[in-house]
């Protein structure tokens, strides 16, 4: 750490038992589980946002930005799948979310707005805080950003952007996701320098109503971008470019299907899984059952399958299967899909399978160079949106803490450059692959460890297990 300048007082070092880096959903769920455990402990969450539990995903204010899973799939309680459903029932009965009746389905099948889900998570955290206070525990929210972290013999020391210093018995990297739209890109394309934020409705209102908008990426972030444009009053043409031109399927409510993977422990490789999954989907369709039914049984096995796969098998999956897995597994909520279909039917939305070659924003209009099946061409538009999703490679995240941790050798990139490496219990692996004693990670940073490490149910399970380990 830098020595203080002459005449300046050394900042007082404050102490905590557990310091959580990031106060989005991951950090809030870990704090919630720690507060519920017996014993007194000081918990500090460093999060620049005003509210804990929302993070990037659940700070949305537009009703059209909904969860991509229905209430029955999104409980923050790992032992109570109906918790969000009951909360929504009570909230709606008290007059909240009057627009819910437009979905005309049971509460368990509702797709709530993300902002409303953030409120639910905050209320569950508040209830846990009341329990913790009775046990002598405390929760402190520090509105700042961790820019450096060092390990000590008996804990960790962190430095905040505002200059404050903390020491803790243990620290947890619960940094959540780094959206590509808000992450500095190092490619020569300069994409983000010219792109608009897919969730910033106010910025999109600055476009002409009839603007020709170009969107890079065709996944769920693109669906959000369409809703943001719709809320901004946009009525012009929209062109979407992605490498494979695949759109997310709409999420339906299929009937139960037998958990075929639990009956087939020998299925290990991505190719074996893909073949059997196709067979199961064909069986379902032959019986008049939605193909999504067999697919939905796979989710509980993803972490096991990914962790036991070889590096070669993982590379095969990412290279050959991932685009189709993403479009089939990460499905669009019905409201978002309805808007997408309407825009397609109106002829305002077009999808191109193409790879981005470059962006030129030097002129009055945005120029985008892409390569399709034939030669590379240029296309012009009035606005550009980066909807390429999440940046999981910490080596490409232009933030102080990831840079410092990598430079110090306290972390190493995860499998295939996805997140960071850790042991099965969340202890971070350093550059020599030695598990840390005082530094842990959970949620999206562990994508390389578990592949699907972003879903609410997965994060909730990780939070409970890690809290018990820390306690």
pLDDT tens by residue, 228-277? 999 999 999 999 999 999 999 999 999 999 999 988 878 877 778 888 99
Give the pLDDT confidence score for residue 2 in this predicted structure.
37
Domain-embedded: residue 444: yes
Place of tokens 């796969």: 309
Domain match, 351 and 366 both: yes
Q: Write out pLDDT tens, residues 75-124.
A: 999 999 999 999 999 999 999 999 999 888 999 999 999 999 999 999 99
CA–CA distance, 43 with 19 (Å, rounded to integer): 6
- The domain total for the chain is 3
Residue 367: which domain range? Answer: 181-249+331-391
Please say whether the beta carbons of 297 and 260 come within 8 A. yes
Average pLDDT rounded to a whole number, residues 355-373: 88
| Final residue belonging to a domain, choices 329, 344, 361 | 329
Same domain, 148 and 172: yes
Domain membership of residue 99 (yes or no) is no
Verify that 215 and 195 share a domain, yes or no: yes
Q: Does residue 364 form part of some domain?
A: yes
Give yes or no for residue 188 having a pLDDT over 60. Answer: no
What is this structure's pTM?
A: 0.92
Three-state SS at 275: helix
pLDDT at 454: 86
Q: Could you tell me if 439 and 170 are in contact, meaning their C-beta atoms sit under 8 angstroms apart?
A: yes
Distances, alpha carbon 175 to alpha carbons 286, 435, 457, in Å: 44, 19, 17
Q: What share of the chain is helix, strand, coil (3-state, %, to 5)?
A: 40, 20, 40
Average pLDDT value for the chain: 92
Q: Are residues 142 and 58 in the same domain?
A: yes
**Greatest CA separation found in the chain?**
79
Q: Give bridge partners of residue 213 from the DSSP assignment.
A: 238, 383
One domain for residues 337 and 240: yes
What is the rounded average pLDDT of the residues 162-167? Answer: 96
> How would residue 1 be classed by pLDDT, with cut points 50, 70 and 90?
very low
* 385 and 198 Cβ atoms separated by less than 8 Å: yes
| Confidence band of 181 (pLDDT split at 50, 70, 90) | low
Residues 423 and 288 placed together within one structural domain of the fold: no
Residue 372: per-residue pLDDT: 78
Residues 292 and 440 in one domain: no
160 and 234 part of one domain: no
361: Cβ–Cβ under 8 A, 6 or more apart, which residues? 190, 193, 194, 367, 384
**CB–CB of 214/368 below 8 Å?**
yes
316 and 383 together in one domain: no
* Short-list 256, 336, 247, CA closest to 295: 256
User: How many angstroms separate the CA atoms of 200 and 228, rounded?
Assistant: 7
What is the spatial distance between Cα 50 and Cα 62, in angstroms, rounded to a whole number?
18
pLDDT digits (tens, 9 = 90+) for 207-230: 999 999 999 999 999 999 999 999
The pLDDT value given to residue 341: 98
Determine, yes or no, domain membership for 101: no
Domain presence at residue 140: yes
Q: How confident is the model at residue 3 (pLDDT cuts 50, 70, 90)?
A: very low
pLDDT in tens, 295-306: 999 988 888 888
H or E stretch including 42? strand 42-46
Q: Give the angle subtended at the CA of 424 by the CAs of 421 and 428, to the nearest 5°.
A: 35
Q: Which of 276, 308, 329 is the last residue of a domain?
A: 329
Clarify whether residues 30 and 130 are in a common domain: yes
- Per-residue pLDDT of 383-407, as tens digits, reads 999 998 888 999 999 899 999 999 9
* Burial class of 125 by CB neighbour count within 10 A (0 to 12, 13 to 18, 19+): buried
**Residue 283 CB contacts under 8 Å (≥ 6 apart), including other chains:** 294
Of the candidates 64, 85, 67, the residue with the CA atom closest to the CA atom of residue 456: 67
* Across 139-150, average pLDDT: 98
d(C-alpha 155, C-alpha 65), whole Å: 40
pLDDT tens digit sequence for 38-58: 999 999 999 999 999 999 889
| pLDDT at residue number 5 | 41
**Res 316: pLDDT:** 86
Residue 344's domain is classified under what CATH number?
Answer: 3.50.50.60
- Do 377 and 450 fall within a single domain? no
Of the residues 391, 408, 428, the one at which a domain ends: 391
Does a structural domain hold residue 77? no
Percent of the chain's residues with pLDDT above 90: 75
Q: Which residue has the higher pLDDT, 167 or 103?
A: 167
The answer, yes or no, to whether residue 4 has pLDDT greater than 50, is: no
* Domain contains 195: yes
Q: Judging by beta carbons within 10 Å of its beta carbon (0-12, 13-18, 19+), is residue 55 exposed, middle or buried?
A: buried
Asked whether residue 337 is assigned to any structural domain, the reply reads: yes
> Both 297 and 170 in a single domain?
no
CA dihedral 352, 355, 358, 363 (to 10 degrees): 0
């Amino acid at each position: 750490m830098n020595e203080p300048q002459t005449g300046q007082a050394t900042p007082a070092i404050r102490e905590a038992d557990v310091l959580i880096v990031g106060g989005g959903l991951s950090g809030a769920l870990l704090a919630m589980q720690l507060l519920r455990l017996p014993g007194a402990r000081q918990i500090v969450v460093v999060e620049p946002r005003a509210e804990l539990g929302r993070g990037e995903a659940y700070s949305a204010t537009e009703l059209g930005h909904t969860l991509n899973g229905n209430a029955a799939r999104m409980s923050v309680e790992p032992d109570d799948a109906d918790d969000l459903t009951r909360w929504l029932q009570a909230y709606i009965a008290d007059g909240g979310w009057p627009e819910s009746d437009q979905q005309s389905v049971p509460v368990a099948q509702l797709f709530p707005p993300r902002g409303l889900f953030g409120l639910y998570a905050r209320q569950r955290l508040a209830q846990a805080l009341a329990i913790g206070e009775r046990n002598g525990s405390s929760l402190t929210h520090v509105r700042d950003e961790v820019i450096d972290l060092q390990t000590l013999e008996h804990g960790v020391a962190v430095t905040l952007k505002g200059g404050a210093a903390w020491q803790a018995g243990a620290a947890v990297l619960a940094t959540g996701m780094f959206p590509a739209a808000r992450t500095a890109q190092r490619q020569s394309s300069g994409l983000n320098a010219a792109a608009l934020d897919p969730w910033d409705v106010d910025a999109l209102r600055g476009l002409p109503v009839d603007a020709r908008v170009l969107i890079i990426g065709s996944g769920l972030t693109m669906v959000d971008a369409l809703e943001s444009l719709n809320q901004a009053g946009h009525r012009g043409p929209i062109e979407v470019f992605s490498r494979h031109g695949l759109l997310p399927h709409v999420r339906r409510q299929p009937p139960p299907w037998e958990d075929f993977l639990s009956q087939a422990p020998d299925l290990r490789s991505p190719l074996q899984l893909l073949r059997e999954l196709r067979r199961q989907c064909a069986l379902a369709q032959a019986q008049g059952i939605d193909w999504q039914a067999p697919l939905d049984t796979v989710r509980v096995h993803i972490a096991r399958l990914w962790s036991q796969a070889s590096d070669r098998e993982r590379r095969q999956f990412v290279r050959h299967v991932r685009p189709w897995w993403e479009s089939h597994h990460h499905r669009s909520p019905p409201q978002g899909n309805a808007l997408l279909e309407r825009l397609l039917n109106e002829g305002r939305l077009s999808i191109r399978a193409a790879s981005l070659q470059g962006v030129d924003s030097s002129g009055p209009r945005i120029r985008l160079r892409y390569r399709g099946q034939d030669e590379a061409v240029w296309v012009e538009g009035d606005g550009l949106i980066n909807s390429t999703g999440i940046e999981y490679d910490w080596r490409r995240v232009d933030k102080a803490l990831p840079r410092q941790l990598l430079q110090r050798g306290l972390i190493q990139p995860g499998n295939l450059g996805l997140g960071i490496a850790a042991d099965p219990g969340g202890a971070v692996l350093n550059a020599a692959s030695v598990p840390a004693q005082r530094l842990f990670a959970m949620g999206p940073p562990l994508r390389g460890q578990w592949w699907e490490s972003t879903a609410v149910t997965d994060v909730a399970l990780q939070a409970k297990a890690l809290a018990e380990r820390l306690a």
